[in-house]
Amino acid sequence: MKVRYSRRALAQIAEIIETIAEGAPEVAGALSRRMETLAALLARHPAIGRRTDLADVRVFALRPYPYLIFYREEPGGIMILRVRHMARKEDWRTGR
C-alpha cells in the first residue's frame, strides 16, 4: 500500500521537525526517521491504529515521541490526515 499525506499533515510535520531542529537537530532527524518507519508499518498493517469517533479515521501513537498520527485507509493506500502533539486538547478535526 502507498502512504500519502494531506497538505495539513505535511505542514504540521514540517513545523514539528523545524521547531525541534532549532534546539536538537539530531532529535529532529530521529523523529523524521521514526515517522517514516511508522508510515511504512501503517501501510502494511492499516488496522493497527485505534478507531476514533469517525468511522474511517484511526489514530496511532508516534512512540517514543509524544505525537499522534491520524489517518484513514483509502483505496490503494493510507492517507495521513494530521499529526498532533499528545498534550494538545483541541478537536483534532478542526484544530480548535
> For 67-92, how does the pLDDT look when each residue is reduced to its tens digit (9 = 90+)?
999 999 999 899 999 999 998 766 65
The pLDDT value given to residue 94: 57
- Kindly list the domain boundaries of the chain, sorted by start residue: 2-85
CATH for 2-85, options being 3.30.479.10, 3.40.50.720, 3.40.980.10, 3.30.2310.20: 3.30.2310.20
In terms of Cα–Cα distance, which of 83, 88, 80 is closest to 40? 80
pTM, to two decimals: 0.87
Residue 27 has pLDDT above 90, yes or no: yes
Answer whether residue 29 shows pLDDT above 90. yes
What is the predicted pLDDT for the residue at 92? Answer: 52
Strand ranges in the chain using DSSP code E only, listed in sequence order: 2-5, 50-51, 57-61, 67-74, 77-85
42-63 mean pLDDT: 93
Per-residue pLDDT, 96 = 47
pLDDT, mean over the chain: 91
